[in-house]
C-alpha cells in the first residue's frame, strides 16, 4: 500500500497541524503487519511478532501492535514501562538487551521471560532466583553465533563455535541447570545487518544445531529469531539496495518451514512459539515526514533547498539512501533545479535530507519524505529545535494528533536554572 499523500491530505494535515509534521499511515501499517503475520502463520501457526520498541516506540504505534495481537520486545526499563502502561502483562513482553534495568526483576517475578545477554547478567539472575526459591523463573539465551556476517557481534552468549571447550554457552547452561528454579524457556538470536535469505538459512541451521545439542525437543517454549527481514519498499528505494529483495513468503518458507519440519509432529501445545522481532520491517514504510521549503540558493553552481525540518527528524536512512519524496506545489514562482541538495534547519554543514534533486521547486512547497519509520522521531536529539508533532492518518480518512510538538519547556525542564 502506497503512502504517498494526496494534495487534499497534505492541505488538511499541514493546515491543521503545521509544518514540519510526521504522519503515521495507520491503515497501511496494519495491512503490512497482517501480511507478514499471515505469511508465517500459513506455514507455522504458532508464529508471533514481538515488535521492537526501540525502532519506534511511539505509544500509538505500539498500541496498534497490541491491538493486532503482537508482543512487545523491549530493551530497557523505559520501554518495559511503556509496554506495561499500554496494558501488556509480563507474558506479552520479551525483555532483551545488554543492559536491562531493575524492571527485569519485576518482569521475572511476574512470570515474564528475559533473554540473557551475558554471564554476568545470568549470575545476577541466578542469585535473585536463589533468594526467591518459591518462584520459578523463565529465561532464554541470546546466543552469539556465526551466520556468515562480516563483523563480530558484541551481543549474546558466545556460541560462535560449538561444541568448544569453555564456551560461554556451556557455562550458561550449567549455571541454569544448577539452580533448580531457573528454567530455559527459549533461545534467541538476533544479528543486525543480515537480511538476505542466505543469512536466514544460516540462522536456522546454526540455531537448530545449538538447540539439538543443549535442549530436549519439548523443552523450549519459544524460539526467537530476532529481526532482519527486508521491508516492503517503493521501487525507487528498493532499487538502491541492489539485488533481490526477498518477500515475506520467501522468509517464511525458510523459517516457518524449518519450524514446521522440526516441530510439526509434536502436539500443538508442545510446539514452541516462533517469534521474530521486526522493527524496521513493520514500521519503516508507514511513517512519513512533511516539511516546507524555507529558502533556495545557489552557491558556486550548487543549489541548496533549505527546509523547516532536518535529517535529524528522519534518521540515518536519509543519509544512507535517497528516500522516496513527493513535492507538493504550495509556493509561487518555482525554480528549475538540477542536482540540488535538500538541507535541514540545523547549522551543520552535512544536514542532508536528499541529494541530487532535479525538478521544479519553490519556497513554500511542502515535501513528503517517505519511509522514515525507523530510528527517526525516537532518535531525534533536542538539537537546535525541539521535535515536531506526529499525526495519524486513519483508515476512514480522518487525521488526529498522536504526539504534540515539543516545546521550550519540554527541553529545558530537566535543567537546573
Ligand atoms: C534492534 C533490534 C531489533 C529490531 O531491528 P530492526 O532492524 O529495526 O528490525 C530486534 N531485536 C533486537 C534484539 C534488536 O536489538
Q: 272, 222 in Cβ contact below 8 A?
A: yes
Name residues whose C-beta falls within 8 Å of residue 256's C-beta, 6 or more positions apart in sequence. 39, 40, 41, 42, 43, 44, 47, 274
Grid cell 528475559 is found at: 114
Give, using CA atoms, the residue closest to atom 7 of ligand 1.
280
Mean pLDDT of 270-293: 97
pLDDT of residue 243: 86
Residue to mutate (ligand 1; options 50, 155, 276, 279; most atoms within 8 A of CB): 279
Q: Could you report the per-residue pLDDT of 104-119, keeping only the tens digit for each?
A: 999 999 999 999 999 9
Q: Could you report the per-residue pLDDT of 88-104, keeping only the tens digit for each?
A: 999 999 999 999 999 99
Mean pLDDT of 5-21: 97
Q: Is 190 in the pocket of ligand 1 (CB under 6 A)?
A: yes
Positions of E strands within 244-334: 273-276, 287-299, 302-307, 325-328
Provide the greatest CA pair distance for the chain.
76
- Kindly indicate the confidence band of residue 146, based on its pLDDT and cuts at 50, 70 and 90: confident
Closest among 321, 320, 322, 313 to 287, alpha carbons compared: 313
- Kindly indicate the confidence band of residue 131, based on its pLDDT and cuts at 50, 70 and 90: very high
- Index of the ligand 1 atom closest to the CA of residue 142: 13
pLDDT of residue 298: 97
- What is the grid cell recorded at 161? 563455535
pLDDT of residue 267: 95
Mean pLDDT of 250-269: 97
Positions of E strands within 316-378: 325-328, 335-343, 352-361, 366-369
- Kindly indicate the confidence band of residue 161, based on its pLDDT and cuts at 50, 70 and 90: confident
Give the Å distance between the CA of 227 and the centre of ligand 1: 5
Q: Is 227 in the pocket of ligand 1 (CB under 6 A)?
A: yes
Q: Is 79 in the pocket of ligand 1 (CB under 6 A)?
A: no
Grid cell 519440519 is found at: 261
Question: Taking the model in full, what pTM does it have?
Answer: 0.96
Q: Could you report the per-residue pLDDT of 42-61, keeping only the tens digit for each?
A: 999 999 999 999 999 999 99
**Strand pairing of 302-307 and 287-299?**
antiparallel
Give CA–CA dist 150/282, Å, rounded.
Answer: 25
Q: Quick check: 394 pLDDT over 70?
A: yes
Q: 23, 394 in Cβ contact below 8 A?
A: no
- Index of the ligand 1 atom closest to the CA of residue 190: 13
Q: Is 142 in the pocket of ligand 1 (CB under 6 A)?
A: no
Residue to mutate (ligand 1; options 94, 227, 284; most atoms within 8 A of CB): 227
Give the Å distance between the CA of 230 and the centre of ligand 1: 12
> Angle at the Cα of 77 (from 82 to 172), degrees rounded to 5?
130
Give CA–CA dist 188/118, Å, rounded.
Answer: 13
Q: Is 76 in the pocket of ligand 1 (CB under 6 A)?
A: no
Mean pLDDT of 20-33: 98
**Strand pairing of 273-276 and 222-224?**
parallel
- Index of the ligand 1 atom closest to the CA of residue 115: 13
pLDDT of residue 1: 67
Q: 325, 370 in Cβ contact below 8 A?
A: yes
Q: What is the mean pLDDT of the chain?
A: 95
Amino acid at each position: 500500500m502506497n503512502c504517498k499523500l494526496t494534495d487534499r491530505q497534505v492541505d488538511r494535515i499541514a493546515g491543521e497541524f503545521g509544518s514540519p509534521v510526521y504522519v503515521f499511515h495507520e491503515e497501511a501499517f496494519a495491512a503490512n503487519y497482517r501480511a507478514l503475520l499471515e505469511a508465517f502463520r500459513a506455514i507455522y501457526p504458532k508464529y508471533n511478532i514481538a515488535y521492537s520498541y526501540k525502532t519506534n516506540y511511539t505509544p500509538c504505534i505500539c498500541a496498534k501492535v497490541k491491538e493486532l495481537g503482537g508482543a512487545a520486545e523491549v530493551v530497557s526499563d523505559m520501554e518495559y514501562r511503556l509496554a506495561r502502561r499500554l496494558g501488556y502483562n509480563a507474558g506479552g513482553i520479551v525483555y532483551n538487551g545488554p543492559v536491562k534495568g531493575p524492571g527485569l526483576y519485576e518482569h521475572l517475578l511476574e512470570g515474564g521471560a528475559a533473554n540473557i545477554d551475558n554471564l554476568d547478567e545470568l549470575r545476577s539472575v541466578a542469585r535473585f532466583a536463589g533468594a526467591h526459591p518459591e518462584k520459578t523463573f523463565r529465561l532464554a539465551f541470546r546466543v552469539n553465533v556465526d551466520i556468515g556476517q562480516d563483523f563480530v557481534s558484541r551481543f549474546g552468549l558466545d556460541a560462535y563455535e560449538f561444541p568448544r571447550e569453555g564456551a560461554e554457552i556451556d557455562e550458561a547452561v550449567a549455571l541454569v541447570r544448577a539452580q533448580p528454579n531457573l528454567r530455559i524457556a527459549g533461545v534467541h538470536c538476533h544479528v543486525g545487518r543480515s537480511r538476505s535469505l542466505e543469512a536466514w538459512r544460516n540462522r536456522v541451521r546454526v540455531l537448530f544445531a545449538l538447540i539439538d545439542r543443549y535442549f530436549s525437543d519439548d523443552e523450549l517454549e519459544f524460539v526467537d529469531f530476532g529481526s532482519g527481514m527486508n521491508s516492503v519498499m517503493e521501487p525507487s528505494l528498493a532499487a538502491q539496495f541492489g539485488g533481490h529483495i526477498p518477500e515475506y513468503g520467501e522468509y517464511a518458507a525458510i523459517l516457518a518451514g524449518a519450524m514446521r519440519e522440526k516441530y510439526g509432529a509434536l502436539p500443538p501445545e508442545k510446539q514452541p512459539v516462533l517469534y521474530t522481532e521486526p522493527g524496521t520491517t513493520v514500521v519503516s514504510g508507514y511513517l512519513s515526514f512533511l516539511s516546507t521549503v524555507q529558502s533556495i540558493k545557489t552557491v558556486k553552481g550548487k543549489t541548496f533547498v533549505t527546509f523547516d525540518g532536518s535529517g535529524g527528524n528522519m534518521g540515518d536512512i536519509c543519509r544512507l539512501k535517497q528516500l522516496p519524496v513527493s513535492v507538493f506545489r504550495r509556493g509561487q514562482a518555482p525554480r528549475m533545479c538540477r542536482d540540488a541538495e535538500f538541507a535541514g534547519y540545523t547549522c551543520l554543514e552535512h544536514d542532508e535530507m536528499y541529494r541530487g534533486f532535479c525538478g521544479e521547486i519553490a519556497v513554500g512547497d511542502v515535501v513528503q519524505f517517505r519511509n522514515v519509520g525507523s530510528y527517526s522521531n525516537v532518535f531525534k536529539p533536542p538539537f537546535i529545535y525541539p521535535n515536531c508533532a506526529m499525526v495519524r492518518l486513519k483508515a476512514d480518512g480522518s487525521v488526529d494528533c498522536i504526539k504534540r510538538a515539543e516545546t521550550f519547556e519540554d527541553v529545558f525542564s530537566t535543567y537546573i536554572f
